[in-house]
């Protein structure tokens, strides 16, 4: 009797084992995998971030044109990259202070992360178009698949936000540098006046 209950209990437990645990290789069953849905919004956000980070790395000369292209796998993604690069501002941060050192002062370098130049843009386009059979004149934003279109819009917002932060940081550094120049210059003028006054008193 006890033996029958034991067998019955084992059969019930076996029936309750999740389907994913019954596959020979230990992988999840098709039924289990089908329940896992990819969040399209997250996928679009990930691609948007990928567009932004790739372009910033390229601006900083951290990756080559070849490496830029290898970040993307489909023709549609490469078309999206070209349209994205065309849509961001070129040289949005203009130098308003010497970059190199002068006299006793240090210069302030213009951040390169957001400064995509016409030369770099042309470099990306020419390489992609030449190796992927893409016609430059037929690239239109509305021809992108809906998911890439959404990702493009996110990427533009992210890139512009980063650019604004970089510009704010640069202008703050320039303001600080100018303040140091004014302070040192004022101190120097005061020293010169004191010396001239002292010499005048001694001469008198």
Note the pLDDT tens digit of each residue in 66-77.
Answer: 999 999 989 999
The answer to which of 64-68, 84-88, 192-196 has the lowest mean pLDDT is 192-196
The share of the chain scoring above pLDDT 70, in percent, equals: 81
Alpha helices in the chain (DSSP H): 2-15, 30-34, 40-59, 65-70, 75-87, 118-132, 146-203
User: What is the predicted pLDDT for the residue at 204?
Assistant: 63
User: What is the predicted pLDDT for the residue at 33?
Assistant: 41
State yes or no: pLDDT of 177 exceeds 60: yes
Mean of pLDDT over the chain: 81
The answer to which of 6-20, 57-71, 132-146 has the lowest mean pLDDT is 6-20
State yes or no: pLDDT of 17 exceeds 70: no
Q: pLDDT grade, residue 50 (50/70/90)? A: very high
Q: Are 93 and 111 in contact (CB under 8 A)?
A: yes
Residues 6+ apart with CB under 8 A from 66: 127
Q: Which candidate, 109, 92, 113, places its Cα nearest to that of 101? A: 109
Q: pLDDT grade, residue 59 (50/70/90)? A: very high
User: What is the predicted pLDDT for the residue at 21?
Assistant: 43
The answer to which of 40-44, 52-56, 198-202 has the lowest mean pLDDT is 198-202
Residues 6+ apart with CB under 8 A from 18: 32
- DSSP structural state of residue 145: -
């Amino acid at each position: 009797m006890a033996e029958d209950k034991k067998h019955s209990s084992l059969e019930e437990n076996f029936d309750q084992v999740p389907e994913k645990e019954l596959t020979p290789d230990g992988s999840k069953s098709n039924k289990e995998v089908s329940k896992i849905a990819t969040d399209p919004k997250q996928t679009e956000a990930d691609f948007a971030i990928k567009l932004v980070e790739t372009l910033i790395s390229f601006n900083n000369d951290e990756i080559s044109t070849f490496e830029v292209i290898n970040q993307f796998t489909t023709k549609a993604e490469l078309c999206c990259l070209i349209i994205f690069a065309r849509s961001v501002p070129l040289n949005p941060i203009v130098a308003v202070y010497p970059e190199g050192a002068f006299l006793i002062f240090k210069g302030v370098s213009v951040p390169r992360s957001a400064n995509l130049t016409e030369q770099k843009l042309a470099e990306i386009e020419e390489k992609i178009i030449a190796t992927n059979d893409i016609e430059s004149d037929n690239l239109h934003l509305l021809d992108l698949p809906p998911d890439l279109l959404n990702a493009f819009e996110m990427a533009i917002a992210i890139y512009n936000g980063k650019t604004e932060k970089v510009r704010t940081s640069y202008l703050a550094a320039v303001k600080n540098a100018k303040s140091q120049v004014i302070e040192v210059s004022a101190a120097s003028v005061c020293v010169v006046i004191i010396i001239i006054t002292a010499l005048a008193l001694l001469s008198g």
